Amino acid sequence: MCGIAGIYHFEHPDRPVDLPVLKAMTRSLAHRGPDGEGVWRRPGVGLGHRRLAILDLTNNAGQPMVDESKKRAITYNGEIYNYRELRRALETKGHVFRSDSDTEVILVGHREWGADVVGKLSGIYAFAIWNEEKRELFLARDPIGVKPLFYSISSGTFRFGSEVKAILSDPSVDRAFDAEALDAFLTFSYTPAPATGFRAVRQLLPGHCALVNEHGMRAWSFWDCPYSERPAAIDFDDALSEFTDRFDRITNAQMVSDVPVGAFLSGGLDSAAIVRGMTRSGAGDVHALTVGFDVPGFDERDAARETAASLGVELAEQELALDAAALLPKLSLHMEEPTADSSMLPVYLLCQAARQRFTVAMSGDGADEILAGYDTYRATAMAAKYRAIPRFIRRGLVEPLVRCLPVGDGKYGLHQVGTRFVQGASLGAGRDHCAWRIIFTDALKQRLYSADFRQNVAQCDPLGAYAEHIGTPPASRESLAGLLNADTSFYLPNDMLIKVDRMSMAHGLEVRVPFLDIEMVRFCADLPGEFKLRRGKRRKHILRESLRGSIPSDVLDRPKSGFNIPVERWMRESLRDLLFDAVATCRDELSKFLDLSELERVANEHRDRKADHGHLLFTVMMFALWLDNAARCWKPSTDSETERVADAVRVSE
């Protein structure tokens, strides 16, 4: 993994790219690539790169990379797992390679196949290729959106980068906020692509390519919905065998690396499947890491030990302190869309500990979304039955009873779950499922939004944008297919993958996700829903059965445990001061969006256990930190600052 950046003056081809600005954009991504830095320029265009060396550690694989014709150059972030097969195919066509890197395979592949190269890639990536002959820039982002790619267009100039801060390093970029994007952020605690918190900065959607030339930018999708008209006609035993063999093969393929590879091992099924697949690769000893936290109920090391012992792998353990008040301001500098997933804190610490042991980590992200791992899928089915109960009973009996449930501090307290269920069910089919991700309900927006902000976003419907993905699979498929597609297309790339990318790259750690290999995604999409959610209640059924006999039964059948922090308790205790300090720091700016007097009342209700507003207050706290970062931290470097770092940058012209 790496960091990429670039500038293209598409309306002014003879205008030179400002070298100090290009260097500043590249240097803002230093944490993503600690092993090298370079920029490349031609009239009207410039590319920048920060390198995390994984394949071919020599300078031959340095970037930006120029092909032998000197007519194409690439800056690339990611890993292509089938690059050796593609290289052999290109060599049969007469192409000669100077490195053993996947970067060069993409570059040469683009010369041979043009934009169709993306259809041949198996991996996770974001890249930009400059074609001197056509004077056009080609960009692409992987199908699921594991790797990020941001861009900005203004005054005939196209800028791009792996993170928003790279683009904001150019003083020419407008820094005005995007009200609609911020409404979506407050709704979900993450910002759905293509938006960001800034009007001038956008995201290339997952599974999309873009071409920028003298006419501007044109983007298109190269990835289709993975759900076919009907599920595969296959019995469960055959599907189970194929699932296991396919996943092991994919895991093995993703272990390609010239640096140490390890795995995250929690107490769950997803990481157990990863580690088992690694043990079957024949690559030697497997190294896994598990962490525990100094918070009761947030430690899965016992289950991880059982799994490691069953699989015969070396397990490193570490206990970590969740000092949220000290770490969250630092973490907020990386979560710049903005994002406020509270589990970013343990993920950050996990990645920090992992980087001390290996450079590449294998992770189970994506299994819940493609194999029905969340309880929300059962809840959505229950919501339809709940709506069949006469309205007067729901409103007059059930809802008052739910409001009387005690507010607790657990991960999934009865009050929190009950309230979310009845609120979501009232929204109707489709929206009931998406409502499980809501932070600011409509009622809370009416209460907390400032009058101007409420008016500006009155026509916005973030929940509807999420629910639209439910209707994408063919109508002939089971209802579960729509729910899984929505979570894979919307929730996964905009929240879960953003969090993992930013927290891992903060430490220069590459994270690979075998469950999200496009072959695996399509295979699981073709499976009947019953194979994933057995009898409407047994989550990840086929994965569970795949692991049976490999890991202890008590681990296999233990309840799912999310990687979350005790937000409810911390927002009434240790993080309450940080909340109000952050609010005070940007009071004038924050008051444009929220009624701060009402916010204080909401915070007091939470403190006094009159309501559960923990996640809402956490989101507001991260929003305030984001506003402060936008004002003070994500700013263009001064000329003197740029000059001080310039000498270390490799420049090719």
What per-residue confidence (pLDDT) applies to 415?
74
182 token code pair: 């911020």
**Residue 631 forms part of a structural domain:** no
Please report, for residues 7, 46, 244, the alpha-carbon distance to residue 154 in angstroms, rounded to integers and kept in the order given. 11, 16, 49
What does the pLDDT look like over 475-487, one tens digit per residue? Answer: 999 999 999 999 9
**Residue predicted with more confidence, 502 or 415:** 502
State the CATH number of the domain containing residue 167.
Answer: 3.60.20.10
Q: In this predicted structure, what is the pLDDT of residue 527?
A: 97
In this structure, is residue 474 part of a structural domain? no
CA distances from 294 to 346, 416, 498, 562 (A): 11, 24, 25, 16
205-208's contacts with Cβ under 8 Å and 24+ in sequence apart are 205/141, 205/145, 206/141, 206/142, 206/143, 206/144, 206/145, 206/489, 206/493, 207/141, 207/142, 207/143, 207/144, 207/145, 208/140, 208/141
Q: Does the residue 36 lie in any domain?
A: yes
pLDDT category of residue 645 using cuts at 50, 70 and 90: very low
- Which pLDDT does position 649 carry in this prediction? 56
Residue 646's pLDDT is 47
Edge-to-edge strand ranges of the sheet holding 72-80 = 65-66, 72-80, 123-131, 136-141, 208-213, 216-221
The CA–CA distances, whole Å, from 81 to 54, 101, 251 equal: 12, 11, 10
Q: Is residue 434 part of a domain?
A: no
Two tokens, residue 621: 């706290």
Is 519 among the domain residues? no
110-114, Cβ contacts within 8 angstroms, sequence gap of 24 or more: 110/72, 110/74, 110/138, 111/67, 111/69, 111/72
* Cross-sheet strand order for the sheet of 287-293: 314-320, 287-293, 261-264, 360-362, 510-512
In percent, how much of the chain has pLDDT > 90? 77
What pLDDT score was predicted for residue 410? Answer: 62
362: in domain:
no
pLDDT score of 638: 52
Whether the predicted pLDDT of 217 surpasses 60: yes
* Residues forming a β-bridge with 362: 263, 512
Residue 187 lies in a domain: yes
Residue 648 or 356, more confident: 356
Residue 537 — very low, low, confident or very high, per pLDDT cuts 50/70/90? confident
CA 312/CA 295 separation, integer angstroms? 28
pLDDT (mean) for 204-229: 96
Q: Give the model's confidence band at 193: pLDDT under 50 very low, under 70 low, under 90 confident, else very high.
A: very high
Domain count, the chain: 1
As a whole number, the mean pLDDT across the chain is 92
pTM: 0.94
Q: What is the mean pLDDT of residues 6-24?
A: 95
Cα–Cα distance between 7 and 4 in angstroms, integer? 11
- pLDDT(653) > 70: no
Q: Is the pLDDT of residue 635 over 90?
A: no
Q: What is the pLDDT of residue 320?
A: 84
SS3 of 534, please? strand
In angstroms, the first-to-last Cα distance of the chain is 24
- HSE at residue 395, side-chain half, CA atoms within 13 A, is 4
Which domain covers residue 201, as residue numbers?
3-223
Pick 57 or 146 by higher pLDDT.
Answer: 146
- Predicted local confidence at residue 561, as pLDDT: 64
- Position 275 confidence tier, pLDDT thresholds 50, 70, 90: very high
Distance, CA of 613 to CA of 603 (rounded, Å) = 7
**What's the mean pLDDT in 467-496?**
96
How far apart CA 315 and CA 624 sit, in angstroms, is 39
The angle, 0 to 180 degrees and rounded to 10, between the axes of the packed helices 376-387 and 414-425 is 50
Q: What is the pLDDT of residue 352?
A: 95
Confidence at residue 403, expressed as pLDDT on a 0 to 100 scale = 78
The pLDDT value recorded for residue 485 is 97
In this predicted structure, which of 124-133, 134-143, 304-313, 526-535 has the lowest mean pLDDT?
304-313
Contact (CB, 8 A) for 31 and 508:
yes
Residue 565 scores a pLDDT above 90: no
Question: Of the candidates 130, 164, 147, 151, which has an alpha carbon nearest to the alpha carbon of residue 77?
Answer: 147
- What CA–CA distance (Å, rounded) separates 584 from 587? 5
CA 256 from centroid of its chain's CA atoms: 22
* pLDDT at residue number 87: 97
d(CA 13, CA 7): 11
pLDDT given for residue 42 in this prediction: 94
CA 648 to chain centre: 31
Our separate counts of H helices and E strands in the chain read 31, 18
Where is pLDDT greater, at 430 or 183? 183
Per the document, the length of the chain is 653
Look at residue 148 and tell me whether its pLDDT is greater than 50: yes
Say if residue 644's pLDDT is above 60: no
Q: What is the DSSP letter of 627?
A: H
647 pLDDT more than 90: no
- Give pLDDT tens digits for 307-346: 999 999 989 998 888 888 899 999 999 999 999 999 999 9
**Segment 226-236, tens digit of pLDDT:** 999 999 999 99
